[in-house]
Amino acid sequence: MKIQKTPVPDGKTKIEKKFYLVDASGKTLGRLASSIAMILLGKHKSCWVPYLDTGDYVIVVNAEKVKVTGRKMTEKMYYRHSGYPGGLKKETFISLMQKSPETIIEHAVKGMLPHNRLGRKLIKKLKVYKGSEHVHEAQQPIPLEIK
C-alpha cells in the first residue's frame, strides 16, 4: 500500500499571490500587526512552509487612525541608533504618529516576522498609506476585515 504524502511546494513551483486591502481605522495596533504578519508569511494557506515565501501582499490604509490601549499613547518610545557614540535617538508614539504613521505599523509588523533573509523579503510586500487612497487599484485588492 502506497502512502500519499502532502504536496510541499518547492522553490520552482509558482505560488499564487493575492493582494489584500486592510483598513486600520479603529483597530488596535498589536492585533492588526499580528494578523498582517500571518498573511505576509502565508500561514493562512495550506501550502505554507517555514522556509519559502508563500504569503500574499497586504495594503494598509488609514494608518493614522490606528489605536493603542493603556498609556502607550504617551509612554511608548521608538529607538534608533546612528552607530556613532551618543547616537541614540528616541521618539514617542505621539510624535511619530504625527510625522509618519506608516512607520508605526511597519515597525510593529516587522517585529512579528522572522529576523532573517526571508523576513526582509516579506516586509517588502507590505504597503502602508496614511489616508484612504492607495495606488494599487490595478491589482484589484480583496478587502479583508480584521477584528
Model pLDDT for residues 57-110, shown as the tens digit of each residue: 999 999 999 999 999 999 999 999 999 999 999 999 999 999 999 999 999 999
In this structure, whether the domain defined by 19-68+100-144 belongs to CATH 3.40.50.2300 is answered with no
Phi, psi dihedral angles at 122 (to 5 degrees): -70, -35
- Name the pTM for this structure: 0.92
Model pLDDT for residues 12-64, shown as the tens digit of each residue: 888 899 999 999 999 999 999 999 999 999 999 988 999 999 999 999 999 99
Distances in Å between the alpha carbon of 69 and those of 29, 74, 95, 105? 9, 11, 17, 15
**Are 115 and 46 within 8 A, CB to CB?**
no
